[in-house]
Amino acid sequence: MDDFRIFDGEKGMFVANPSKADSSSKSGFRSTARVVDPDLQTQLNVAVRDAYIKEVEKLQARAAAVRHTPEKPRIWEQLTEGADQATKDTVEQPAPEKGKATKSAER
């Protein structure tokens, strides 16, 4: 069943049964599912609340895992680092001696 809503009220968590907007009712909503047995309502509340807490814990664990992973360098940082390395490599290369033919001239 869909459309259960969970509220964190003054007295703790509250599980609201599915309902749809209805301008003709006092509350502005009408129930789409009504549970007549109080024991069943209690079981539904517990099941929905437990599932909600479990999902929140999963999301918190995922968020914590993402926060604690080492951050990868951003693309512009990688490009800047590559350009710096290319400049360094070019400076370190010996200049061709004058008078000697280079490989491209030999071809």
Q: Which residue has the tokens 């350009």?
A: 83
- The answer to whether 2 and 17 are in contact (CB under 8 A) is no
User: What percent of the chain is modeled with pLDDT above 70?
Assistant: 84
Lowest mean pLDDT segment, chosen from 12-16, 36-40, 68-72: 68-72
The pLDDT tens digits of the residues spanning 55-71 come to 999 999 988 887 766 66
* Secondary structure of residue 60 in the 3-state scheme: helix
Mean pLDDT computed over 6-15? 84
The secondary structure element, H or E, covering residue 29 is: strand 29-31
pLDDT digits (tens, 9 = 90+) for 89-100: 887 777 777 766
- What does the DSSP assignment read for 30-65? EES-----HHHHHHHHHHHHHHHHHHHHHHHHHHHH
The pTM assigned to this predicted structure is 0.50
2 or 89: which carries more pLDDT confidence?
Answer: 89
High-pLDDT (> 90) share of the chain, %: 12
Average pLDDT score, the chain? 82
Give the Cα separation of 103 and 105 in Å (integer): 5
